[in-house]
């Protein structure tokens, strides 16, 4: 199975900051990586797919990049509603594994 | 409106069985692969299984093969997960999900149904 490692696991930032979350795959997955945002008690919400394509309706302050084994999610100008948990997922081969999550907290 | 609604969760004893359902609406159910994904504090998010459009192809995470069975009824726009020989580590919120606008992500999720395996 392909393992995904997110870093950091916890991130403190302030409103207006720019932050970057990294997701590393244990083997190459081309660009088959998605990013999700999850608020407590809710299902994950798709932000980005195939590494850099912004899902319809997602604010443009979210962006993704990378290919192969290293990927990043960048959030520009953090808004109060962005302080929650983020996950990456690979869809290169089943099982379609997820990263362990990054919790973004207000500093 | 595109919607997935899970049901069937609850409390079950170790070794017991449970059948989850997912009712789909707002899209052509029979045209899409469907998946089950679960989430627990201990194991995080875990893709469980998927099934193709006519039910002829099914894939499972290796750790669950033989205990869980995914199925669908296109006439009823419904997805199912039969869970047997349940263990404490199967305790989780179970979601059904699809990639509606892309095959390379899950853009539609249900609200989830909680399964608790405990004596």
Q: Do A95 and B61 touch (CB under 8 A)?
A: yes
Candidate from A49, A56, A100 with C-beta closest to B104: A49
Q: What 3-state DSSP class applies to A96?
A: coil
pLDDT digits (tens, 9 = 90+) for B65-80: 789 999 999 999 999 9
- Which residue does chain A place closest to B5, by CA atoms? A43
Whole-number average pLDDT of chain A = 97
Q: How many whole angstroms separate alpha carbon B40 and alpha carbon B90?
A: 9
Q: How many whole angstroms separate alpha carbon B29 and alpha carbon B78?
A: 8
What pLDDT score was predicted for residue B2? 96
Within 8 A of A95 by CB-CB distance, chain B residues are 46-47, 59, 61-62
- Which residue does chain A place closest to B111, by CA atoms? A43
Residue B115: C-alpha distances to residues A58, B16, B31, B42, B84 (Å): 31, 12, 28, 14, 12
Please check the confidence at residue A46 and state whether its pLDDT lies above 80: yes
pLDDT digits (tens, 9 = 90+) for B25-36: 999 999 999 999
- The percentage of chain B sitting over the pLDDT mark of 90, rounded to a whole number, equals 95
CA distance B69 to chain A (A): 15
């Amino acid at each position: 199975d392909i393992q995904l490692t997110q870093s950091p696991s916890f991130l403190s930032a302030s409103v207006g900051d720019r932050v970057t979350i990294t997701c590393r795959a244990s083997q190459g997955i081309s660009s088959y990586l998605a990013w999700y945002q999850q608020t407590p008690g809710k299902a994950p919400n798709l932000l980005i797919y195939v590494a850099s394509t912004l899902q319809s309706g997602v604010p443009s302050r979210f962006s993704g990049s990378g290919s192969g084994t290293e990927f990043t999610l960048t959030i520009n100008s953090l808004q109060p509603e962005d302080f929650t948990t983020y996950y990456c997922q690979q869809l290169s081969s089943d099982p379609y594994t997820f990263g362990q999550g990054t919790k973004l907290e207000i500093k | 409106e595109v919607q997935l609604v899970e049901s069937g969760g609850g409390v079950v004893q170790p070794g017991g069985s449970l059948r989850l359902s997912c009712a789909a609406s707002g899209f052509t159910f029979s045209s899409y692969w469907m998946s089950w994904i679960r989430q627990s504090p201990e194991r995080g998010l875990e893709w469980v299984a998927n099934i193709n459009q006519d039910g002829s192809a099914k894939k499972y995470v290796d750790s669950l093969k033989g205990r869980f069975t995914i199925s669908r009824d296109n006439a009823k726009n419904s997805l199912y997960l039969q869970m047997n020989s349940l263990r404490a580590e199967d305790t989780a919120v179970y979601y059904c999900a699809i990639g509606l606008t892309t095959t390379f992500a899950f853009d539609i999720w249900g609200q989830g149904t909680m399964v608790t395996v405990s004596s």
